[in-house]
Structure 1
Amino acid sequence: MSAAPRVSPTQLFTPDEWAPFQTRSTWRGPLLVAHAWGVIAAAMAVGVVWPILIPLCVMVIGTRQLGLAILMHEAAHGALAKNLKLNDFLGHWLCAVPIGADLGDYRPYHLNHHRYAQNAEDPDLVLSAPFPVTPASLRRKIIRDLTGQTFFKQRVLFAFRAYASKRDEDTAEGAVVTGKSVAPFLIVNALMLLGLTLAGVWWAYFALWLLPLATWFPLVTRLRNIAEHACVEGSATDPFRAARTTRASWWERMLIAPYWVNFHAEHHLFMHVPCWKLADLHRAVRSKPQGERMEVAGGYLEVLRTASGKAG
């Protein structure tokens, strides 16, 4: 098996330069979890009071559902809380289970992705290998996401083992992140439905939780996957090019890329650095000569042009 190449912090930084990136916070991770749920609750309230804004609320909530997956990812690296029991509790019950994931299943899967990034043994290679694709193919993928077809494949078809053996870009990470925690997912979602029913707005569960989960969440998850690894030349052999970092504007952070997920090249270089330090790590790495080798896109539209063969 071919493990992905690695770089040591000592190859880039002095001990004093590296020290700020080694610390864990007691409160930042839990506050991010609270922030994600706070944004979801606020967007649901806005949609209930002003139904005309439901399309925007669906996008905001779907992005925070991705945010929960990102914070589960932090927990998989032990970076969500200093206390590992709290780290795993928050990462599993407040981040993973509500979107149908399982931290215990995700952690070994994801660590194998880091170990073999962009090599043949990488379990996520199927997400990036097909790209670039034609614009028509990319449109079909986006339509599948926004019409709930991807959600159906991950939630229903993946339950059948015969289909699970035919994994594609719709059912690779999605199958592990959103397809293996059925009973806890159903229980938590039933409690959400019950709570909203008791509040007199039962329909909000379907319009402002399930609809985002079935449409916008799969779309932004796909955009995240494309941006992170697709069409990065030398990604299997150069640790500085194992992934792509995408500069994100305020609206992209709100509707596509929450919680610094766009700094993926830095995450692959030093995977134990917490997500809230990745922007500082980006500046630190880019200040070094080796950092010039990193793949940095100007935004998600630029990434989509590259992924659909329109770059140039």
Structure 2
Amino acid sequence: MSQAVSPVEITTPKNTIPLKATNCQKNTTMNQNDESSRPNTPTPSEVIRKKKDVQRQLKQLAKPVVWRFVLALSVDWMVIVGAMLCAGMWPTWWVCLASVLVIGTRQHALGVLGHEAAHYTATRYRKANDAIGMLLCFWPIGGSLTGYRRFHQRHHRHLGTEHDPEMHFFQSDEWKIPVKTAAPVWRFIKGCLGMQILDYAKLIRSLLPKTKTEWVGIPIWWACFALILWVLDSLWLLGLYAIAIPTVFWALIELRGWTEHRGIAETHRYKTHWLFQQILFPHNVWMHYEHHQWCYIPFFNLPKARALDETTPVVQLRDVFEFLGETDHEAYARNNGSHLTLDHFSDQVLHCS
């Protein structure tokens, strides 16, 4: 019968050695505790693997899906047509007013989809991309795809600087910060009433067509639109549609643009209520932070792109408005990380210039 081994002895084939290396045990235990208490810092190979994985995901997200774009476009146009039909069937002042409001929100949505086409994310075929962007997005709101594309490239290239063309539309006292929430709301109401039409005219001058195709195409499009309504004995609806552009459409453009970049050098990263997403921020345009990081990703994949960045905080839209009423903007940027980092994961992020 074998003899039990003492817990303080180590048995070898030749003899039994008293365990005097008690300090080694203690040191080993301490090292194990130290290792378990250390933060789980990724190794260089893990970092490289993470970058490659994110690059692969971004590449997948960047693929245009034309049916997704056409579906969103079709819904916007159906709402516009529906609003015009309602006004035509019940031409009371309040139905017409409601129709103008609805049409203006969808014209804004068309502008957002036109912005997608300006980034070549409608379809991978560039000629088809531009044709859709011109005929169904920009020309119906009196805009130019080529003019907007050049304007918007300068916005991405000179974001937040004096060379950013969008900054020139927020020079009035009502937009200056710190500002009370009532000021931009009042500005929005005045915009809906057509009291900011001079600013809208300034925008149109900034977006003049850069090609003969658009110089000729825009008036032809509007002539065809008028002809269709005339044939339907509803030419007066053209005025209803057109008046929404320098009023509701422009008021929405101004307010949204103001919430995206004001008060910081780059872009706010926020979330907002579903209703605001539909009216003020259609087609995921409220994910403007992600757009400025990865402007080649179509709007319907921006939520997935947002999920890839877990480091930059996301605030509520109301927090942005509260911030714009504060004076210590640098403290806000430090606490909320509201700055644009173009390269969280990848050295191959596309700069939108």
- Report TM bin, short chain: 0.7 to 0.9
Q: Is the 8 A contact 1:133 1:307 kept in 2?
A: yes
CA separation of 1:19 and 1:184: change in aligned 2, threshold 3 A: closer
| Aligned with 2:75 (options 35, 43, 54) | 35
Structural mapping, 1:50-61, within 5 Å: 50=90, 51=92, 52-61=94-103
Shift of 1:20: 2.9
CA separation of 1:94 and 1:258: change in aligned 2, threshold 3 A: same
| Aligned with 2:238 (options 196, 205, 229) | 205
TM-score between both structures, scaled by the size of structure 2: 0.67
Partner of 2:168: 126
Does residue 78 of structure 1 match 2:120? Answer: yes
Q: Is the 8 A contact 1:248 1:257 kept in 2?
A: no
Partner of 1:21: 61
In 1: Cα distance, 2:191 partner to 2:207 partner = 16
In 2: Cα distance, 1:213 partner to 1:42 partner = 17
In 2: Cα distance, 1:24 partner to 1:66 partner = 21
Secondary structure of the structure 2 residue equivalent to 1:259: helix
| Aligned with 1:68 (options 110, 120, 128) | 110
Does residue 252 of structure 1 match 2:240? Answer: no
Structural mapping, 1:1-312, within 5 Å: 14-50=54-90, 51=92, 52-127=94-169, 131-132=176-177, 134-135=179-180, 138=184, 141-155=187-201, 171=202, 173=203, 175-177=205-207, 184-207=217-240, 209-232=241-264, 235=265, 242-285=266-309, 288-289=310-311, 291-292=312-313, 296-299=314-317, 303-307=320-324
CA separation of 1:12 and 1:139: change in aligned 2, threshold 3 A: farther
Secondary structure of the structure 2 residue equivalent to 1:109: helix
In 2: Cα distance, 1:152 partner to 1:222 partner = 13
Shift of 1:268: 0.4
Unaligned ranges ≥5, structure 2: 1-49, 333-353
| Deviations 1:190-243, CA, capped at 9 Å, x for gaps | 332332232122222222x122112110110011111111123xx2xxxxxx21
CA separation of 1:186 and 1:147: change in aligned 2, threshold 3 A: farther
Partner of 2:350: none
Q: Is the 8 A contact 1:76 1:106 kept in 2?
A: yes
CA separation of 1:304 and 1:214: change in aligned 2, threshold 3 A: farther
The one-letter code sitting in structure 2 at the alignment partner of 1:102 is S
In 1: Cα distance, 2:234 partner to 2:319 partner = 40
Shift of 1:48: 2.5
The one-letter code sitting in structure 1 at the alignment partner of 2:252 is V
Greater Cα shift, 220-229 or 185-194: 185-194
CA separation of 1:256 and 1:113: change in aligned 2, threshold 3 A: same
CA separation of 1:176 and 1:37: change in aligned 2, threshold 3 A: farther
Q: Is the 8 A contact 2:122 2:298 kept in 1?
A: yes
In 2: Cα distance, 1:305 partner to 1:175 partner = 33
Q: Is the 8 A contact 1:138 1:308 kept in 2?
A: no
Secondary structure of the structure 1 residue equivalent to 2:228: helix
The one-letter code sitting in structure 2 at the alignment partner of 1:62 is G
The one-letter code sitting in structure 1 at the alignment partner of 2:127 is K
Secondary structure of the structure 1 residue equivalent to 2:283: coil
Secondary structure of the structure 2 residue equivalent to 1:23: coil
Q: Is the 8 A contact 1:131 1:308 kept in 2?
A: no
Greater Cα shift, 82-91 or 127-136: 127-136
Unaligned ranges ≥5, structure 1: 1-9, 156-170, 236-241
Shift of 1:183: 6.0
In 1: Cα distance, 2:58 partner to 2:278 partner = 30
Shift of 1:137: 5.1
Secondary structure of the structure 1 residue equivalent to 2:150: helix
Secondary structure of the structure 2 residue equivalent to 1:58: helix
Q: Is the 8 A contact 2:54 2:308 kept in 1?
A: no
The one-letter code sitting in structure 2 at the alignment partner of 1:230 is R
Q: Is the 8 A contact 1:72 1:91 kept in 2?
A: yes
